[in-house]
Structure 1
């Protein structure tokens, strides 16, 4: 899913590559959680905002 998304973004918006370090669009790793039981929109937003930091 990550690679398909990145390829499509690069295809539609080639200038995005200029703003990235190297050619990676996504950070390494994955996140799994049962949203209904353990998370909510705020938790997911915090996770997404923290990607690539430290």
Structure 2
């Protein structure tokens, strides 16, 4: 399942980050690196450039 894959990926990356930067755990609320939510979408016949442009547009909206 995609949700299991995301959970494993986030856990592994957080573990690596905390090993490389133990000070992070002290600075983060509750010692959590990731928000528990995520988004998964399909891109069907979109080009890489179209997907990257969409992602950049989402970054602008969140500022």
TM-score, scaled relative to structure 1:
0.64
Equivalent residues in 2 for 1:10-29 (5 A)?
10-29=18-37
Q: Specify the structure having the higher radius of gyration (Cα).
A: 2
In structure 2, runs of 5+ residues without a counterpart are 1-8
Q: Which ranges of 4 or more aligned residues in structure 1 deviate by more than 4 Å? A: none
Higher helix share: 2
Is residue 42 from structure 1 mapped to residue 56 from structure 2 by the alignment?
yes
Aligned Cα RMSD in Å?
A: 2.4
TM-score, scaled relative to structure 2:
0.56
Give the total of aligned pairs: 46
**Structure with more contact order per residue of length (Cα contacts < 8 Å, sep ≥ 6):** 1
In structure 1, runs of 5+ residues without a counterpart are none
2-structure distance, mates of 1:34, 1:26: 22
